[in-house]
Amino acid sequence: MDIKECKFETIAVHAGVQPDPTTGAIMTPIYATSTYVQSTPGEHKGYDYSRTANPTRTALEASIAGLESGKHCLALSSGCTGTDILCHFLEAGDHVVSVDDVYGGTSRLFRTVWARHGVETTFADLVNHNLSDYVRPNTKMIWIETPTNPLLKIIDIEKVVQQAHKLSPKPIVVVDNTFASPYFQSPLALGADVVLHSTTKYLNGHSDVVGGALVFNDDNLKAKLHHIQNSIGGVPGPFDAWLVLRGIKTLALRMKRHEENAKVLAEMLERHPKVERVIYPGLKSHPQHDVAKRQMKGFGGMITFFLKGNLATSRNFLERVRLFALAESLGGVESLIEHPAIMTHASIPAETRVKLGISDTLIRISVGIENVQDLQRDLELALG
Ligand SMILES: *Cc1c(COP(=O)(O)O)cnc(C)c1O
């Protein structure tokens, strides 16, 4: 049976993974090697140097390509490496349109690194405006993140793709699928050209790796992006590649549980008298709930909410939680909680943060896979 015809749970366990031909080991070995012996100059078994390719990484790439139903995948040293490689694909004078509420590190890379090399980025409100309000004749890349971070806005991928692909020259449309994970959202099927993952988050799922991946279908793009990666580096080591590969096998189980728990907590928080407002795409009160229902198979494990009060209220609450760990990042089996204005989104200029609504009372949680009653009690006790 062809793995491509299988359902997601099966793909997560089997795609890219074959027993080792020399020993029969069922698990992919960690090929800790930088170089490969050649039988005669230029003749080798597909590997000559590990920046170019490594068998453990090859297995991971096939696995992630399978999850996104994509033809090609490049596994990377981090999610930000993926953003950087795509920027290297551009030239000085090119223009990028990015979702405004974008991951802080992505915004930082566009504003403080690539702007210096002549690539200009416009941050766009693609919930309330059309892409055409922002594009220019030199627009070469459209950057979508959905759900956005930390405000969990939902961008209609299909709508943006349709508008983008009518333009000439045609910009590439990238979707950062880190928050939804391929279990809940398939951007390539909605017409996106490239999917980016910070595998640091849900794909690895155990908060013990920093990694990234790009997935796409176009053969030309494969040659160009691999050329950039091979030229600049940015590859994951074999041990990191192996850890992500291991994490992916339980992705379906974990995502299902993350979502079940998040739904319970979002509803509890929405009822709580000390909470001003809850943002979770699965709640009927979410302004783009209908788009989320159409484009996602589920609503994920991230919740954002506003406390009634001020910064002191937030600090007090964040110091009182016990099970939720006060830490940046997301997508691990353990529940995390954080204060975006001071922590993950500190690199965004204060003025922009305020305009977006990332206030001092905004809290973001990454709901883990623990017992949901324990998680609920932890939040209730901390809220007081
Ligand atoms: C973490 C994250 C990134 C960056 O990934 P790193 O692995 O930290 O480099 C990009 N996008 C989103 C949505 C993220 O959460």
The count of other CB atoms within 10 Å of the CB of residue 20 is 12
Q: How confident is the model at residue 232, as a pLDDT?
A: 96
Q: Answer whether residue 210 shows pLDDT above 90.
A: yes
Q: How confident is the model at residue 85, as a pLDDT?
A: 98
Is-contact 12 251, C-beta < 8 A?
yes
Long-range contacts of 265-273 (CB under 8 A, 24+ apart): 265/303, 265/365, 265/367, 265/372, 265/375, 265/376, 265/379, 266/303, 268/376, 268/379, 268/380, 269/303, 269/305, 269/379, 272/380, 272/383
pLDDT per position as a tens digit, 227-283: 999 999 999 999 999 999 999 999 999 999 999 999 999 999 999 999 999 999 999
Span(s) in the chain for CATH 3.90.1150.10: 252-383
Concerning whether 51 is annotated as a catalytic residue, the answer is yes
Beta-bridged to residue 213, according to DSSP, are 75, 197
Which residue of 101, 103, 154 sits with most ligand 1 atoms within 8 Å of its CB, as the best mutation to test the pocket? 103
Decide whether any atom of ligand 1 lies within 6 Å of the 105 Cβ: yes
Share of the chain above pLDDT 90, in %: 94
Decide whether any atom of ligand 1 lies within 6 Å of the 98 Cβ: no
Q: Which atom of ligand 1 is nearest to the CA of 331?
A: 15
Spatial CB neighbours of 182, under 8 Å, sequence gap ≥ 6: 8, 64, 67, 68, 195, 251
Decide whether any atom of ligand 1 lies within 6 Å of the 176 Cβ: yes
Q: Which atom of ligand 1 is nearest to the CA of 102?
A: 13
- Measure 287 CA to ligand 1 centroid, in angstroms: 25
Concerning whether 116 is annotated as a catalytic residue, the answer is no
Where do we find the tokens 């739904």? 263
Q: Answer whether residue 1 shows pLDDT above 90.
A: no
User: What CATH number has the domain spanning 252-383?
Assistant: 3.90.1150.10
> Which architecture does CATH list for 3-248?
3-Layer(aba) Sandwich (3.40)
d(CA 97, CA 105): 16
Closest Cα partner for 196 from 221, 214, 169, 216?
Answer: 214
Q: Answer whether residue 50 shows pLDDT above 90.
A: yes
Is-contact 291 156, C-beta < 8 A?
yes
- Measure 103 CA to ligand 1 centroid, in angstroms: 7
Which pLDDT band, with edges at 50, 70 and 90, does 100 fall under? Answer: very high
Closest Cα to atom 8, ligand 1: which residue?
A: 79
Residue tagged active-site, from 201, 263, 353, 364 = 201
Q: How confident is the model at residue 40, as a pLDDT?
A: 96
Decide whether any atom of ligand 1 lies within 6 Å of the 179 Cβ: yes
d(CA 325, CA 321): 7
Concerning whether 201 is annotated as a catalytic residue, the answer is yes
pLDDT (mean) for 114-128: 97
d(CA 15, CA 74): 15
The count of other CB atoms within 10 Å of the CB of residue 310 is 11
357: left (phi over 0), alpha (psi -120 to 50) or beta: left
Backbone angles phi, psi at 121, to 5 degrees: -120, 135
Mean pLDDT of the chain: 97
d(CA 285, CA 278): 8
d(CA 303, CA 282): 10
- Measure 110 CA to ligand 1 centroid, in angstroms: 14
Decide whether any atom of ligand 1 lies within 6 Å of the 80 Cβ: yes
Structure tokens of 303?
């919740």
pLDDT per position as a tens digit, 61-94: 999 999 999 999 999 999 999 999 999 999 999 9
pLDDT per position as a tens digit, 336-378: 999 999 998 888 888 989 888 999 999 999 999 999 999 999 9
Burial of 322 (0-12, 13-18, 19+ CB in 10 A): exposed
Burial of 220 (0-12, 13-18, 19+ CB in 10 A): exposed
Which pLDDT band, with edges at 50, 70 and 90, does 132 fall under? Answer: very high
- Measure 54 CA to ligand 1 centroid, in angstroms: 23
Decide whether any atom of ligand 1 lies within 6 Å of the 90 Cβ: no
Is-contact 188 68, C-beta < 8 A?
yes
pLDDT per position as a tens digit, 14-26: 999 999 989 999 9
Span(s) in the chain for CATH 3.40.640.10: 3-248
Beta-bridged to residue 253, according to DSSP, are none
Concerning whether 176 is annotated as a catalytic residue, the answer is yes
Q: Which atom of ligand 1 is nearest to the CA of 145?
A: 13
Q: Which atom of ligand 1 is nearest to the CA of 82?
A: 9
Closest Cα partner for 272 from 348, 372, 376?
Answer: 376
